[in-house]
Structure 1
Amino acid sequence: MFHPKTIAISFVALALAGCATNAEFDETGGIKSVRSSCPAVAIPVHTADVTLFDPAGSRDARAIDVVATITNLRNTCVQQGDRIVTTATFDIQARRTNTSGAREVVLPYFATVTRGGTQIVSKQLSRVALRFADGQSSATATGGGNADIAASAATLPPEIEEQVTRRRKPGDPDAATDPLADPAVRSALRQASFELLVGFQLTQDQLAYNATR
C-alpha cells in the first residue's frame, strides 16, 4: 500500500527538486538560478522492487519466485496552453526462479501526483504483464504515468520568483545568501512544487520486506 508518509520521505529525498533550482553562470560572471515548473519525477523509497514468494507466506530466500525491478525512469514535460503535462515511462525487468513452462505475471503499479511533498493530487493504478517464455528466466515490460497540472498552480508569485531567479554577483551583499533561508520563499516554493511518483503498488508485507532486506 502507498501512504502519504512514503510521499513525505520521498519529498525529503528530492530536496525541493520539483522546483528545480539550478545555479548557472551568466555572461558577466554572476550566478543566476533557473527554475522549472515541471514536476519532479521519482520513485519513492522501497517501491522500485517487488519480490513474490512461493509459498506466498514464506520469506525464505529459497522460496523466492519472481523479482521485478523498475529501471530506466525517463520523462518528458511540455506546456500545453494553461496546462503542464509530464509523462514518465520506465522499464520493468523481472527474473523467475522456476523456468519451466510459459508464464504470465501481472504486477500493479501506481503513478501519483503530489503537491508540496504531502498532498496527493491524483493517483493512477495500472497493471503490467510480464511474459516469460518456456525455459526463460527473464522478462521485460514497460509502464508509465502522467501528471497534468495547471500552469498557474506551478508558478511562483512574481516577488518570490524574483528572489529565487535573479542574478547574483560576487561581492553583492546577498551573494552568499540562500533564498531558501527565507521561510516565505520556502513556503511558496513548496506550494508551487509538484512531483510525479511512480512505483510498484505493494502490500504492507511487501513494503516491510523491501525496507528490511
Structure 2
Amino acid sequence: MPESGELPALAPAVRGSRRERSDAELIGAVRAGSAAAAETLVDRHWDRAHRVAFAILADPHLAEEVTQESMVSILARVGRFDTRRPFEPWLHRVVANRALDYARARARRSQVHRLVAAPASESGSDPRLVEALAALPPDRRAVVVLRHVAGYGTNEIARILGIRRGTVGSRLRRGLDQLRSELEESDG
C-alpha cells in the first residue's frame, strides 16, 4: 500500500473486466461465433422486447413466441446490423413488426377482432386499460405502445416502424382518442 494511506489504483485489466460489454461489442462477438455473447445480448434486451410484444398483442403466450422468434431472427441477421447505430430500436422494430403480423393474422382468422386482455397481474396495468388497448387496431396499438410503454419519441417510432412522422402523430392521436373513448364507455 502506498505510504500516503491511499489504495493503489486498480490495473486497467481488472477495471476493464468488470465493465459491461456494449451492444456493439457483443454483436462483434456474436459475429465471431460467441454463443455466450449471443446469450448476453438476448438476456439484456429480452424484458423490454417482451413488453413491446405483450403490449401490442395483449397475450403473454403470443408475446413470448414473438419475442423468441424476433431474437432468433435478429441473431441470424446480426451480420447486417450497423454497429454505429443503437441496437435496441432495431430490435424493437423487428419485435413490433412481427407482433403486428401476428395480430393481423389472428384478426383475419377470427370474426371477433377483439384480442383477449391479459390479467392485470401479468401486465401490471388496470384490466380496463389492457382491454381498451387490445381493442385498438394493430397499427395504432403499435404506435401507442412504442410511445407510452417503450418510451420512444416520434422520430424513433417512425424509424422503428418504417413510417412517416406525420403518420406516427395521426396514429398516436387517433389511438389515444379511441383509448379515451373506450375507457369512458367502460366507466359509464
Q: Please give the TM-score of this superposition, normalised by the length of structure 1.
A: 0.23
Q: Please give the TM-score of this superposition, normalised by the length of structure 2.
A: 0.25
Higher strand share: 1
Higher relative contact order (CA 8 A, sep 6+): 1
